[in-house]
Structures are given as C-alpha cells and as structure tokens.
Amino acid sequence: MLENLSSLFSLKERVAVITGGGGDLCGTMSRALSIAGCKVAVLDILLSKAEAVAEAIRAEGGIAQAYACDVLDEASLKSAYEAICSSLGVPDILINGAGGNNPKGSTKAEFLDPEKLDDPESSNFFDLDFDGVRKTFDLNFLGTFLPTKVFSRGMVEKGKGAILNISSMGAFNPLTQVGAYSAAKAAVANFTKWLAVHFARTGVRVNALAPGFFMTEQLRFLHIDQKTGEPTPRSRKVISHTPMGRYGNPEDLLGAVIYLLSDSASFVTGAVLPIDGGFSSYSI
C-alpha cells in the first residue's frame, strides 16, 4: 500500500452525483471532482445553475452532465438516476449538497424577552412559522434522505461506493436564531452515523462534513450590510468566535472531500468532520 500511496486519493473514472451542484460550495466540489478524474452529474432544482457548472467543467476538459432535480420528489430523483446511469454510468459517489435555511424558520431575537411576547417586532420562538420550520427541515434532512435512498442502491449492488452528506457545525452546538436549521443539520449528522452502521458490510461508506461559516452569496446577504458593505453585528460575532479569524472559502472543503470519497478513507465511515476554523472547538 505504501508503494501506491498517491493512488489512494485517486477518483479516476468514478461517477459522482452532486445535489445542489449549482451552488457556490457544491459547484466548487463538482469542478474539483472532475479534476480528480470523476465523471460528474451536477443536479440542481434550477437547470440553468447546474448547466453553468457542467459547462465550466467541460470547458476545463472534464466530463459532466447537468440535470434538473428536486431532492424532495422521489420521482424526479429516480428520473435523474436513470438518465445518469444511461449517460455516465452507475454512480460511485453521492454528495448530498442541497440544503439551506428558510427565514420563516428563524428568529430575529437571540434571547426571549418575556416582556415582549406580544411584540410583533420581537420575532421569538412563539412567532416561528410552522411551514418555514417544516420547509427547512424537509430540505436539509429529507433532501438528504431521499437522494440517498435512490442513488445508493446501485452502489450497494456493486459492493462499493461513498456517500458524503453536508451537515453543519451548528449540529454540534445549535446556532442562535436558526433553530430549525441547526436541528435539521443535527438530524443529518445523526442519519449519517445510522446509515454508516446500516451499510457497514455492503462496501458503501457514509460520512459527512460539518462546515462552519463560508462566505457564499447566501451568507453574504445576511452577514454584510447591503448598503454600507460593512460586516453586520452577527458577522463580527462569528469572526470573534472563529479562532482562525476568517470565513471559509469553498476551496477549504476540497481536501476533506477528496479524502473522504477516496480509498484513502477506506476504514472511515460514520464520521462527521468539522471544517470551521475552530468554531466548534472554541469556548471562553
């Protein structure tokens, strides 16, 4: 094995499926997997976003196809699976990257003020919209569960594969305000461990990343004042609680992605790896 150390990280000729592939983080992952030798199926609910990533991969000499897919619609997932098997082959890799937060499932207040229970501006726990909470949970947890159910079958039948879920460091210690999102990502982490055990004797490994704060376009809208361009108070709190003193960049995820999906992690399953600049480790 030592003589072939570099080959342990090779992903050549493997078929990789990435949901949410049109986004900032998963778009970067898609391109990285192509460079590592994968044939990449880029899935997104918006075909235009998936196609933009697939076109970038093809322009770099890689093999990629874009597919419109709703991760909460099993029929849509099965249709994509059949198309991928026909054009690229049976998937070897699945990254469950689709996810996000619904503002209606969040509070504005960090702490509940009993004197403002009826204040419409307080936006506390009692003001949470059930539909917003459910949409957040569905997208993050069921949007991981359903694609896994569809795309892992072929891996089990082949006796080899790797699944990578996207949890959050908020799964370890819930973030203020985004209670539904933190709970959903905790469910993803828990499901990762459960499925890793369930699949342990099939040849299919299941792991997860737990990213910290990454400056995506979605996060920029919430953490940068759109009028002044200055960090918001929440942004300043994030940086002060991140020992490395910065937000993550999409490229900061790639080493862990390649490692967990490759044969170099052949005895790693059920792991939830924080990539958060020390955020989840820091206390005072």
Residue 148, token pair as written in the block: 């896994």
Residues marked active site are found at: 181
Write down the mean pLDDT value for the chain: 94
pLDDT in tens, 49-70: 999 999 999 999 999 999 999 9
Residue 43, token pair as written in the block: 């899935």
pLDDT confidence band for 133 (50 / 70 / 90): very high
Q: Which domains does the chain have, with CATH numbers?
A: 2-212+248-275 (3.40.50.720)
Judge contact between 167 and 215, C-beta under 8 A. no
Q: Per-residue pLDDT averaged across 255-284, rounded?
A: 96
Q: Per-residue pLDDT averaged across 15-43, rounded?
A: 97
pTM of the model: 0.94
pLDDT in tens, 65-116: 999 999 999 999 999 999 999 999 999 999 999 999 998 999 988 999 998 9
Instruction: Answer yes or no: is pLDDT of 182 > 80.
Output: yes
How far is 258 from 218, CA to CA, in rounded Å? 25
pLDDT confidence band for 3 (50 / 70 / 90): low
Instruction: Answer yes or no: is pLDDT of 1 > 70.
Output: no
Structural Rg of the chain based on CA atoms: 19
Instruction: Answer yes or no: is pLDDT of 4 > 80.
Output: no
| DSSP β-ladder status, 93-96 and 272-275 | unpaired
Instruction: Answer yes or no: is pLDDT of 235 > 80.
Output: yes
